[in-house]
Amino acid sequence: MYKHLLVPHDGTPLSFATVEQAVAYAKAVGARLTFFHARPDVAASSQGALLHAMSPQDFADAAAGNAQALMARSEAAARAAQVPCDSVLVISARPHEAILAAATSAGCDLIFMASHGRRGIKGALLGSVTRKVMEGASLPVLVAAVESNQPRLSDEQTALGILRDEHRSLAAVLHALHTLVKEPAASPDPALLRAMLFYIEQFPERLHHPKEDAHLFKRLRARTADCNALLDELEQQHVAGAAQFAAMRGALEAGDMAAFAQQVQAFEQQQWHHMGTEEKLVLPAASRYLTSDDWRDIAEAFQANGDPRFGSGESFDDLASRLLDMAKSHG
């Protein structure tokens, strides 16, 4: 049985779905995962050189892209399932060669990937990458899905995908925050810490959790009383989480880094337990009891979470990506 899977990620929704499939497969067979992303060399292009000359900061942002965020969210999915994992980022104009080299270097015995299977710039590129990987591989390649063969996502699938992805984003930011402060001698940038707390307060605490209460939990209560005790407990955890967050922010504002590190660890553990309970118990119950109308309402509510913007027009997803990149550079 396979023991070490390489999972390429290109940042598309298909890749996010492939990560979840790979995690489930690795969990079932007792394998470990190495997530992989090859990003283009921005500096090698004429546009990149011009951007660097005009705005070094914009060039740095373009070069970084969202690669760290892709890997952090993938690792969060694996940690949620208690699957051992790591990740590899490279700069390459020939991703199929980079994938094969990474699989060999990491000692993988299976490449687990997907193909868009359609025309167009992105589709042809990834389809070409998948084909070239299969042609050049000396180890098995499992093509878990071909996008063009997949039916359109239902409202239920859309809602569940968004809920899990939001959990992965929060888990990734919390893990990065904990990593920054867990060492006693650590001295992370206070501005970065405040920005990470801003994300946690504005997105999960003020948007994600209230919508769970108002849409997912409310709809589930209307369909069955079997989950009421569990939903009561989770709603209480939402309230307790807000209080824990306030204590965490208070410790940072007071400059007590030891207390702040303890609060971060406690908050992360509480959120991991909370999200795990939702994914293992609530979401399966919702799939069992909710109607298509229920899922349409939930999908519409959570799809709006990607829209809110603030400051210079940056979305919450953009902010999470930037924070994870910054945390990695400070780590």
Quote the pTM value: 0.77
Domain boundaries in the chain? 4-149, 155-330
pLDDT digit string (tens) for 232-245?
A: 999 999 999 999 99
The two three-digit tokens of residue 77, written as one number: 């999915």
pLDDT digit string (tens) for 99-157?
A: 999 999 999 999 999 887 654 444 444 457 888 999 999 999 999 887 766 678 899 99
pLDDT digit string (tens) for 71-109?
A: 999 999 999 999 999 999 998 888 999 999 999 999 999
If one counts every other C-beta atom within 10 angstroms of the C-beta of residue 102, the result is 23
Contact 178, 72 (CB under 8 A): no
- Name the CATH topology of 4-149: Rossmann fold (3.40.50)
Question: 3-class SS at 86?
Answer: strand
Mean pLDDT of the chain: 85
How far is 307 from 320, CA to CA, in rounded Å?
A: 14
DSSP, res 141: E
Q: Which CATH class is domain 155-330?
A: mainly alpha
